[in-house]
Amino acid sequence: MTELKSGSNLEKVLAAGHFAFTGECGPPKGANVEHLKEKLSHLKGNVDAVNMTDNQTAVVRMSSIAGSALMIEEGLEPNFQMVCRDRNRLAMMSDILGAYALGIRNMLCLSGDHQTFGNHPDAKNVHDIDSMQLIAMVKKMRDEGKFLNDEDIDVPPKMFIGAAANPFADPYEYRVYRLANKIEAGADFIQTQCIFNMEKFRDFMKKTVDMGLHEKCYILAGVTPMKNAGMANFMSKFVPGMDIPDSLIKRLKGVDKKDQAEEGIKFALEQVEEFKEMEGVAGVHMMAIEWEHMVPEIAKRANVLPRPVV
């Protein structure tokens, strides 16, 4: 095995050639630690790492760093998310150091949804650096042991660096180059936006493989099981950068309302099966939004259990 960059569980699972399975959890809208623990209990043992979102959709929640630290206490491995919307470079670097000091070993570097989506649309946004520069900054901190200003770091943070890719945003032709750019900046792994349009994703992965990007970086395919046709409709209309084919909405509508959740899960499971075989895909990132209690069943039916111990 090549030398590990961070030694995180996720990195070890991927480096050992296992098909990774990661989960996601939003911190509470408050300081309700019990609620967070309850959500995490469903993920424990069923995933390799859990993304702790950072004020996702620009709605204020408990900080992702605190959520990640609480997750470690619960015996799970966090993938600490950081957006460029809410912090300048000083706050980012200090939080990265803090996160590492608290035992966090994976982080996901994101631009962040615009604040107009959230519950404080009057807020000022920061965007001192963008997600590409954040990736490069974390890499510099880790590999060179230096801050952005080239000063030495006393004990550099060794993070396994993640980034997002959305093959369904426009312009499509550019998306694979943007992915290449993130890898060049220093991304060790990628988690994609939720995939629903499989045809487009197959094409995207073909382009990715043709460029050899899958050999430089682990690519985890994003999956979100639909709870019902209404959710599919809503996401299609109101979530930017989502590509939900009519055929999927039709398929969900085609069954009784009470069976739509099962149909959504079936579609997700079919996706996981295909991703297991798809060239260039190193794992699945399962985003069961506010549906954490379904993850054990999904993981079991997806035949990804038990999770490897490495």
Partner 1 sequence: MIVADRKSLDEILAMVEGDKKILLVGCKGCVTVCNTGGLKEVEILASSMKIARKKAGKEIDIDTHVLERQCDREYVEQISETVNDYDAVISMACGVGPQFLSEAYKEQKFYPAVNTTFFGGATEHGVWEERCAGCGTCGIHNFGGLCPIARCAKSLLHGPCGGSSNGNCEINKDTECIWDSIVRKKMEQGQLEDLLGVKGAKSWKTARDGGPRRSIREELVQGNI
Q: How far is the CB of 64 from partner 1 (least distance, A)?
A: 18
Q: Given the rule CB under 8 A, which of 7-15, 25-33, 121-129, 262-270 is the region that contacts partner 1? A: 121-129
Q: Which amino acid is at 162?
A: G
Give the tokens for residue 216: 């430089």
Closest by CA position to 19, among listed 273, 296, 295, 293: 273
Alpha-carbon dihedral 268, 186, 56, 13, rounded to 10 degrees: 40
**Residue 122 interacts with partner 1 (CB under 8 A): yes or no:** no
In this chain, which of 151, 152, 170, 277 binds partner 1, going by CB under 8 A? Answer: 170
Name the residue nearer to partner 1 (CB basis): 97 or 169: 169
Q: Which two structure tokens, joined as six digits, stand for 24? A: 């996601």
How far is residue 122 from each of residues 58, 115, 116, 256, measured CA to CA in Å? Answer: 11, 8, 8, 42
Interface residue with partner 1 among 6, 22, 106, 166 (CB under 8 A) is 166
Instruction: Say which DSSP state 268 is in.
Output: H
- HSE (side-chain half, CA atoms, 13 Å) at 280: 19
**Integer Cα distance of 177 and 62 in angstroms:** 34
Residue type, 155: V
Which span (96-104, 120-128, 228-236, 262-270) binds partner 1, by CB under 8 A? 120-128
Does 197 contact partner 1 by CB under 8 A? no
Report in angstroms how near the CB of residue 127 gets to partner 1 at its nearest: 5
- The yes or no reply on residue 137 touching partner 1 (CB under 8 A) is yes
Q: How far is the CB of 93 from partner 1 (least distance, A)?
A: 11
Q: Which of 71, 84, 244, 248 binds partner 1 (CB under 8 A)?
A: 84
Collect all residues with Cβ–Cβ distance below 8 Å to 106 and sequence separation of at least 6.
Answer: 6, 8, 10, 11, 49, 77, 78, 79, 80, 159, 160, 162
Question: What are the phi and psi torsion angles at 70 (to 5°)?
Answer: -65, -35
Residues 64-83 that bind partner 1 (CB under 8 A): none
57 touching partner 1, by CB under 8 A? no
148 binding partner 1? (CB under 8 A): yes
Binding-site member from 97, 118, 128, 307 for partner 1 (CB under 8 A): 128
Query: Least distance in Å: CB of 174 to partner 1?
Result: 5
- Which residues sit at the interface with partner 1, rule CB under 8 A? 84-85, 89, 111-114, 116-117, 125, 127-133, 136-137, 148, 164-166, 169-171, 173-174, 177-178, 180-181, 184-185, 193, 240-241
